[in-house]
Structure 1
């Protein structure tokens, strides 16, 4: 009996020691994401689902601001060696500014990259390496609109900019805000310029190549300057809501859904936020591509999704790669759809969309049925994007500067960026 009694406490102590040792050996990773509702919700959902299947790994989610402030934080933390193990950030031109071959882990030889569609791999490639996996759906840039206002006023979806402005006139006369501006969140001010790139390409198919080579500028290119002029025309007509300077992104979504405003220039990732906040009212909202000058060349500017990257200085690169393998799988897509809904096509092999997608998603998918009706945004065709665009478009949309001076200022901004990237032709 004495032997048994003395043995049982010893077994208990050993069990506690072993459990404590196992806990101490658990791997802890940090993941940095921006503070937009969609990014944060998707990051938390993916992390929680992965940890449930991999109890030996703990991933802590850290949040940063969006926009240019967030860009500066990402670049600063990589430069100072204080970046998290994993982080969510843009694909395309903004990735190039991170000097990925020196700061990020190359994933090109990882088996899970076979699941990532080539169209996405091309926008996370640099110097022969591939650095990220998509952590959300593809997006369109254009105009979210209130369908009830359109029905009430007998309006049709415009296929030219003139038709769009004519609709705005009717909407203003009816007492609604024709166009919702949310310049407190400065990143939202860029859409009229950025979402116009499909229209630029219709007149100048080589703009992105010539721009990258330093042979084209926004101020001296008629179709590219017109993107800035469209924003100026909306301001001059008085079509923005009166509180455009103080309203933020979430205010814009509410105004759109509740019918205070008719049009909100925005990326379609906002559809998930509308579903989350307003539920079935999402069917009050539709979507159309930003119109250009010709109804025969009406198409969508497409954004590739943001990406998850691994910091080259991480102490747990193998575990971080395993998490990315989970994200780049059909299971990862399912987690995102379950958490924030289906807001666009996924860039992962085998990831489909449910039949009952929200109305604005259905509107967007029409542009993907014909390859001639969609084209990538400029930032996915050129490594050059100036960091000050959102401040410049706020000034144009507020009447502080005109379109030409804004385009000239942006040309100086992109020149500095191109020189930092060491591109030929920008001396």
Structure 2
């Protein structure tokens, strides 16, 4: 079933009704009108707060304008509650029609809760193969790919570095010196937004792969090592705390948010922030004239890369699964995906997309991605692990309530219980 621009989704609704009588078939098209008195249909769409960006709101408005009798009811969930709330919705059988979900979270919930998408879906043949494969589970597709491989590192203000004669730090020692210099200039060296725990953990999850001894991740997955046994991990956490303790971040880091980080970087009051593609794009929306770059974490010369996991997926409990599929097809069209991927600063996901990459992303591709100077992010190394507890422990760490060793010990306990609950090989009771 291919949805083209001339097709009215209300006609799909009529066909879905006919489908229940066993009369579905043929190719949809033309200027079909909804049946008289047809009630509007509402699709529910759940996603995390930071994902409900203006460009997505505009796309949803456009969809609703084109499809007269279809509405999208967006359920926006605070980021820190995201994973737990999805699990609660599944447990209580109150799932929406469509959800923005990562492969790792889907694996925690179970693929049996989601609609498996057949290879005959009209958008399948247009997906760049690597972007589809990175989201398959046991060889099967359970969602429309909506995120591409992206990088995480130190986002920096090029002008602040150049006009003050400073080089991008390549080691932790160089970072201390750069921070000291910016501090003297009255510029926030490295912004921290620890009210949002998902931003706090970015330092560790993008730095840990740079320092982990060979074989660490396999040992952690198979119960042959503990997180607290790896001294390099404790050092990375101690460095994160030291940045705050030495006054090299904003003083209000415990109440600062991702949004305030965007404001600080866009205004030029902060020189650096650890984040990903999406952050650069959000800053540029606030200040189109600012010049930003991204450098690797200061523990190596490779950029941290997250293998794309993001999908728009349909819950099996959806009463409008066919209509939800039609929405996914509409969203997959090149002109719609160009808006979406440009909004996030992603590379193309479909092979017929035409949008050009921004300069900063071209530089990343040239210097790191194409030459293969990348290291996988923790989420890509331990797919299916729920790190929400670890995020919270790191929030306690920077608040001064835990030491680095205590943080890792608490995470070891939560991690072990999670692996046992999932019955991962090597973790039997």
TM normalised by structure 2 equals 0.83
Distance 2:63 2:374 in 1: 34
Other structure's SS at 1:97 match: helix
Deviation at 1:192, TM superposition (A): 0.7
Distance 1:22 1:209 in 2: 60
Please say if residues 45 and 335 of structure 1, whose CA atoms lie closer than 8 Å, have aligned partners that are also in contact.
no
Change (3 A) 1:245 1:369: closer
Distance 1:352 1:197 in 2: 35
Please say if residues 235 and 399 of structure 1, whose CA atoms lie closer than 8 Å, have aligned partners that are also in contact.
no
Change (3 A) 1:212 1:233: same
Deviation at 1:183, TM superposition (A): 1.2
The aligned counterpart of 1:16 is: none
Higher helix share: 1
Matched, 1:44 2:57: yes
Q: How does 1:25-40 map to 2 (within 5 A)?
A: 25-36=39-50, 38-40=51-53
The aligned counterpart of 2:329 is: 325
Gaps in structure 2 of 5+ consecutive residues: 1-32
Change (3 A) 1:350 1:159: farther
Q: How does 1:335-374 map to 2 (within 5 A)?
A: 335-337=339-341, 340=343, 343-354=345-356, 357=358, 359=360, 361-374=361-374
2:262 to 250, 253, 263: 253
Please say if residues 34 and 40 of structure 1, whose CA atoms lie closer than 8 Å, have aligned partners that are also in contact.
no
The aligned counterpart of 2:70 is: 57
Please say if residues 32 and 84 of structure 1, whose CA atoms lie closer than 8 Å, have aligned partners that are also in contact.
yes
Please say if residues 116 and 328 of structure 1, whose CA atoms lie closer than 8 Å, have aligned partners that are also in contact.
no
Matched, 1:400 2:401: yes
Other structure's SS at 2:306 match: strand
Please say if residues 195 and 254 of structure 2, whose CA atoms lie closer than 8 Å, have aligned partners that are also in contact.
yes
Spell out, residue by residue over 1:42-98, the C-alpha distance to the aligned partner (whole angstroms, 9 max, x if none): 43233333344444533222211112x12111111122111110011233x223212
Change (3 A) 1:108 1:371: farther
Q: How does 1:160-309 map to 2 (within 5 A)?
A: 160-200=171-211, 203-204=213-214, 206-281=215-290, 283=291, 285-292=292-299, 294=300, 297-304=301-308, 306-309=310-313
Change (3 A) 1:20 1:317: closer
Other structure's SS at 2:154 match: strand
Q: How does 1:116-131 map to 2 (within 5 A)?
A: 116-131=127-142
Matched, 1:82 2:94: yes
Change (3 A) 1:392 1:145: same
TM normalised by structure 1 equals 0.84
Other structure's SS at 1:264 match: strand
Deviation at 1:191, TM superposition (A): 1.0
Gaps in structure 1 of 5+ consecutive residues: 1-18
Please say if residues 159 and 298 of structure 1, whose CA atoms lie closer than 8 Å, have aligned partners that are also in contact.
no
How many residues in Structure 1 have an aligned counterpart in Structure 2? 395
The aligned counterpart of 1:105 is: 115
Give the alignment's Cα RMSD to 1 decimal: 2.6
